[in-house]
Copies of this chain bind each other. A is one copy, B any other.
């Protein structure tokens, strides 16, 4: 059961104390306060966990300070929507706002390689007006004999360069608890010139210990990539692990699923699940066209499949795009075959803009249709 508090309620005040006193009459209930920081307002919720079946909804609903009472199933307790009225307020990180309405493009190489390439990447992003990058310092590789990333050693100069070119956030994969600490320390040392979004990769999608670790800190938002062998439900349950630790700043990323039916694409694109995640949860949804498609193959119209599937994501409401770009894809240490050049990235951004405008037009039309219907 969730009580949504009125905005003005003071957690030190009498109203709130009365609420707690009333709840104390029912045994075996844990009380937990959860706060969501939105752009226009913030929401505070009191989560009652345990034997709530005989707690009277109507009594609670009429108490001072309570805006709404929602009975929730245990499924997706923290990340779930639990009825149409619990709007997804989203969160703000380092000046960037994330919710189910936004659209950000995070571009960059698969892995950090040389300082020259990293600097060139940030310079090019700045030129395109992009402040959100992606690149990995820690890389999980299928074979132990492949390049595993530079690790913590590259963080100082990566962060410094990011700051130099106005990058506000880098999506960066972490593989173990200590990586969170390393990133935190290096950012502090460097004077926080940029921000990091902690990416949980598809291979760790059910590494519950790692999920608890990113969930129990509040410093960094988490970009959770759907397990390539997991259902939407299993993946959302894993996100609930993160949220249950206290961190609600989660973005859910679709990146294709592993399927014999995906070929010639690397994975079977699963972006049709965008509206599903929007419906079931409060989470913004990211798409990763690069890993989904896995090549730069081009349709007869001259448009790459990567562009086409990104367009499929945007036209149905994607809130974030991860796309691989590299100053010299043919020399990239990993995934060069699917990395855009910066010329191509410029076209990509132009294409995304066209499709986003169409998405917004769709939303406008449906909203006004809804208004007409309600008026009738």
Contacts and interface: CB of A to CB of B under 8 A. Distances in A.
A54 B354 CA distance: 50
A197 to B, nearest CB: 20
Contact of A145 (B141, B206, B244, B311): B244
Contact of A365 (B240, B298, B309, B350): B350
Interface string A312-333: 1001110000000000000000
B143 A237 contact: yes
Contact of A231 (B88, B208, B263, B316): B263
Contact of A275 (B142, B299, B350): B299
A303 interface: yes
Contacts of A351: 362, 365-366
Interface in A7-41: none
Contacts of A301: 275, 278, 317, 363, 366-367
A71 interface: no
A375 to B, nearest CB: 15
A211 to B, nearest CB: 8
A129 interface: no
Ranked 10 nearest A-B pairs via Cβ = A229-B229, A358-B358, A275-B299, A269-B272, A203-B206, A312-B312, A308-B316, A144-B244, A260-B260, A176-B209
23 contacts: A74-B145, A88-B300, A142-B237, A144-B237, A175-B208, A207-B207, A229-B258, A231-B260, A261-B268, A271-B312, A272-B305, A278-B299, A278-B300, A279-B298, A279-B300, A301-B317, A302-B369, A303-B363, A308-B316, A309-B316, A311-B316, A350-B365, A354-B362
Interface of A: 49, 74, 77, 81, 84, 88, 100, 140-145, 175-177, 203-204, 206-210, 212, 227-234, 237, 240-241, 244, 257-261, 263-265, 268-276, 278-279, 292-293, 297-303, 305, 308-309, 311-312, 315-317, 347, 350-351, 354-355, 357-358, 361-363, 365-367, 369-370
Given A231-B261, A261-B268, 8 more contacts: A77-B145, A144-B237, A228-B229, A269-B270, A276-B299, A278-B301, A279-B298, A301-B367
